[in-house]
């Protein structure tokens, strides 16, 4: 069984958008909506995943971002026109997927973004229903429950909640079966794409890294179970990083880690063995023996360490722990 990592940003309710995609020539995307094998007139343009740390949204535009600056009537007419275009009896839309993210603690920024760009008008729309009845969008994550009333108050939207694990697995299955070069390995700074055989995909271990981490054994379409996990995930990296480096947002902390040198803080095998490898068990001299281990003997206070070195060590500690747990 092989393991596949999946970051929180990639998870935006793929069951309702990405699992319906058909890509032609790499330039246009066809969206065909079908649920429970019954003809539907609903077209999804926007979906949200509201997690513990970040809000992730994906929205679908027909014409190069035209959905972001059109007026209400234009957006509604675009949605309505879908009902007259179909392939094999199913509505078809050509366009592009866009992704955005916001801190969950700053949810009002997300609401302002949706309102100012009119994206909230791209929710689910029953073409046979009055326009006033169309205002609901698909959402996953705990925040879909926690902030449901807020979306209704600010935008007049109802959140149609979907199970996040089911969406995650459905989306991962779709991408691995459909999208060329979706899977790759990353070793020593080198990325190498892996060819996936759709007929020999299962079982695999799906490692979903969000605020916490869930490890899901996928045995087939709709067949999965959570087999393990850890509370040390993206939220841990962000939380500890903010305390130790004063970085205010996730992207800043992540960028800082790329500039750092973890060897200043981490105790390596070479530090213990006089600069040599521990060949008997296959450890090189650069293997981390103890994260933040050098801080034990260094006569330094926190402010004497560079924030970039701290963030680099922290990122490696969290990442290595996830790798160990999934084994």
Q: Is the pLDDT of residue 37 over 50?
A: no
Q: Show the beta-strand stretches assigned E in 221-283.
A: 223-230, 267-268
Token pair 């929205």 in the structure block, residue: 59
The answer to whether residues 141 and 50 touch, using CB atoms and an 8 Å cutoff, is yes
Q: Which residue has the higher pLDDT, 15 or 190?
A: 190
- The whole-number average pLDDT for the span 145-166 is 92
pLDDT over 80 at 19, yes or no? no
Mean pLDDT to the nearest integer, 313-318: 96
Residues 6+ apart with CB under 8 A from 160: 124, 136, 137, 138, 139
Between 90 and 22, name the one with better pLDDT.
90
Determine contact, residues 174/229, Cβ cutoff 8 Å.
no
Identify the pLDDT of residue 75: 47
What mean pLDDT is reported for the chain? 79
pLDDT over 70, % of the chain: 72
Of the CA atoms within 13 Å of residue 228, those in its CB half-sphere come to 12
Cα separation, 194 vs 269, in Å, equals 31
Contacts of 44 (CB under 8 A, 6+ apart): 16, 17, 20, 31, 33, 60, 123, 124, 137, 138
Beta bridge partners, 42, equal 126
274: left (phi over 0), alpha (psi -120 to 50) or beta: left
Question: pLDDT class for 59, splitting at 50, 70, 90?
Answer: confident
Is the predicted pLDDT of residue 190 greater than 80, yes or no?
A: yes
Q: pLDDT by residue (tens digit) across 193-208?
A: 988 888 899 999 999 9
> What pLDDT score does 96 carry?
77
pLDDT of residue 34: 31
Query: Which string of DSSP letters, residue by residue, matches 137-203?
Result: EEEESTHHHHTHHHHHHHH--EEEE--HHHHHHHHHHHHHHHSTT--EEEETTEEEE----GGG--S
d(CA 159, CA 168): 18
Lowest mean pLDDT: which of 72-76, 157-161, 283-287?
Answer: 72-76
Tokens of 300: 């330094």
Residue 168 has pLDDT above 70, yes or no: yes
Domain(s) labelled CATH 3.30.420.40 in the chain stretch across: 9-165, 234-326
- What is the third-level CATH fold of 234-326? Nucleotidyltransferase; domain 5 (3.30.420)
Q: Identify any residues that bridge with 3 across adjacent strands, giving them in sequence order.
A: 205
Q: How far is it, in rounded angstroms, from Cα 136 to Cα 208?
A: 27
| CATH class of the domain comprising 9-165 | alpha beta
The three-point CA angle 249-255-257 to 5° equals 105
């Amino acid at each position: 069984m092989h393991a596949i990592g999946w970051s929180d940003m990639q998870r935006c309710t793929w069951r309702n958008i990405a699992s319906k995609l058909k890509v032609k020539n790499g330039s246009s995307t066809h969206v065909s909506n079908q649920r429970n094998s019954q003809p539907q007139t609903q077209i999804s343009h926007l979906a949200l995943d509201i997690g513990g740390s970040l809000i992730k949204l994906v929205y679908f535009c027909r014409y190069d971002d035209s959905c972001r600056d059109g007026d209400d009537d234009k957006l509604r007419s675009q949605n309505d026109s879908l009902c007259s275009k179909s392939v094999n009896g199913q509505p078809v839309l050509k366009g592009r997927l866009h992704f955005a993210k916001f801190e969950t603690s700053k949810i009002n920024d997300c609401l302002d973004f949706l309102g100012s760009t009119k994206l909230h008008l791209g929710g689910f729309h029953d073409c046979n229903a009055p326009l006033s009845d169309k205002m609901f969008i698909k959402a996953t994550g705990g925040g879909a429950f926690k902030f449901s009333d807020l979306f209704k108050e600010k935008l007049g939207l109802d959140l149609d909640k979907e199970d996040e694990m089911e969406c995650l697995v459905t989306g991962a299955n779709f991408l691995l079966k459909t999208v060329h070069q979706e899977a790759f390995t990353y070793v020593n700074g080198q990325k190498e794409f892996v060819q996936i055989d759709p007929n020999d995909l299962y079982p695999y271990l799906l490692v979903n890294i969000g605020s916490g981490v869930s490890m899901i054994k996928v045995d087939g379409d709709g067949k999965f179970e959570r087999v393990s996990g850890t509370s040390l995930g993206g939220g841990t990296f962000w939380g500890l990083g903010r305390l130790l480096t004063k970085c205010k947002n996730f992207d800043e902390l992540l960028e800082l880690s790329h500039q750092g040198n973890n060897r200043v803080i981490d105790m390596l095998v070479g530090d213990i063995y006089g600069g040599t490898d521990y060949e008997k068990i296959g450890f090189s001299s650069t293997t981390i023996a103890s994260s933040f281990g050098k801080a034990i003997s260094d006569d330094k206070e926190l402010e004497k360490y560079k924030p970039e070195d701290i963030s680099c060590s922290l990122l490696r500690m969290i990442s290595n722990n996830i790798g160990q747990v999934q084994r």
